Amino acid sequence: MYKLIAFDAYGTLFDMYFMGQLAEELFPGYGQAFALMWRDRQIEYTRLVTMSDPNPAGSKHYLPFWDLTIRSLRYVCKRMGLNLTAEYEKRLMDQYVRLTGFADSLSVLKAIKGKGIFTAILSNGSREILATVVESNGLKPYLDQVVTVEDVRLFKTAPQAYELLLKAFPVQKEEILFVSSNAWDALAAKWCGFDVFWVNRLGHPFEEIGEEKSVLIITSIIAAVLTIIFLLSFHLQ
């Protein structure tokens, strides 16, 4: 039986759609491509600083996720030849603090807490920013902890990032279920030893490495919680 269900934040509990919408408003005709490149560069920077010095004590290249997000934003604007004014930068970054939860996020967390199971966010994100977003979306009463990689100074997909859950809660790996909308995140958590739900909200193909059958694929976290409740007495193999 699972004692802890942990969720990724961005794209899993919180909707990133409005980042692209705002980008389109500021840079007409570039919004979707801009948002995708910004997100890709953001994740690429997290991997670069982690892989270049995967020290268990933390990477010497580590910068907080917020800082990497700003730097990736500036890079993408230069790459695409877009004029990033101070006003535009502030508006785009402020949007990260105003992200809204998916329609199913609150009800899912409520249902899980109703079963007496620990709930958490495990994220690359900055603790202060996540705390604001969690609070503004009314999720705080239904989350036992917001766990961030700031504590190990290594981003996902480093095993140390996922193993933070073992330090934060009195549970074993086999008692944890991890839920993410990012296939790479789901796969890395599986490789770390967790059971995993991949919330494929966008209908993307699974990664071409690893085994798709090793994770349970669903299309919404409402589907996740219904499956969780059904399988509470079982262990996914």
Respond yes or no: is residue 151 known to be catalytic: no
Q: How many CB atoms lie within 10 A of CB 165?
A: 23
Of 35, 63, 48, nearest to 126 by C-alpha is 63
For residue 46 the two structure tokens come to 């997290």
Distance between CA atoms of 3 and 232, rounded to whole angstroms?
A: 9
Cα 166 to Cα 63, 117, 120, 150, 183, distances in angstroms: 24, 15, 12, 15, 22
Distances (CA, A) of 228 to 101, 155, 177, 185: 20, 27, 9, 19
- Count of beta carbons in the 10 Å neighbourhood of residue 171: 15
DSSP-derived 3-state class of residue 118: strand
3-class DSSP assignment, residue 111? helix
Q: Which residues are catalytic?
A: 8
